[in-house]
Amino acid sequence: MCGRTTLFTPAKIGKRFNVSKLENNAFKKDFRSTYNAAPSQILPTIVRNGSSNHIRLMKWGFLPPWAKDPGDTFKYKTFNARAEDIFTKPTWRSAIRHARCLVPANGFYEWQATKSTKQPYFIYPKDQGLFAFAGIYNIWKNEHGEEWDTYSIITTTPNQEMAKIHNRMPVILHPKDEKLWLDPNNESEESIASLLQPYGDGMLEIYKVSRDVNTARVDNESLIHSIE
């Protein structure tokens, strides 16, 4: 799974992802760095609109069309989507073909269960600074026509390093694959599924961090410092 992320270089998003426009007042006010982003928060994503990439703020927690309330994010547990059933499960099967997005990040946290507690780790790809998770989104509307832009991060089986910590990991895209991921004309299950793979073995930096990250309201740079 992927339940906490970081984004501490937001000013680099535009150049890194070749963005041409900010949608829904994204970054109208400076988006502050976050070292402990959690589900239900409003965070930047990258979507393709026509032939260009746009930054769009969305709520982390995919709301399917039949959800009754914005708070149903936790009811449906949709902040992650499993790659294995993403083409068949009603919640995801339309979005994976027609509403894919990039979720910018500098890293993420995962917890390793021990006999007495859960130890958090900070993780990021060695070959990328600012990178993107594979995401899908939905623009949910309530009965009054008010809209909520919501997204989910796709997870897959773990690579060799992650398997020592958890049985899932988020899909981290390689820069060369991001254009294909966002391509609205790409509806091929085979093509899309080929991108939903674990990151390469030996390509992740992983180390123990403070349990302070367990509390979402704690958000400062010390969270990503190694305690080893």
Known catalytic residues are 2, 110
What residues have CB less than 8 Å from 146, skipping those under 6 apart?
none
3-state secondary structure the chain: CCCEEEECCHHHHHHHCCEEEECCCCCCCCCCCEEEECCCCEEEEEEEECCEEEEEEEEECCCCCCCCCCCHHHHHCCCEEEHHHCCCCCCCCCHHHHCEEEEEECEEEEEEECCCCEEEEEEEECCCCCEEEEEEEEEEECCCCCEEEEEEEEEECCCCCHHHCCCCEECEECHHHHHHHHCCCCCCHHHHHCCCCCCCCCCEEEEECCHHHHCCCCCCHHHHCCCC
Say how far apart CA 57 and CA 147 lie, in whole Å: 12
Q: CA torsion sign, 134 to 175 to 5 to 126?
A: positive
Return the number of other C-beta atoms located less than 10 Å from residue 60's C-beta.
25
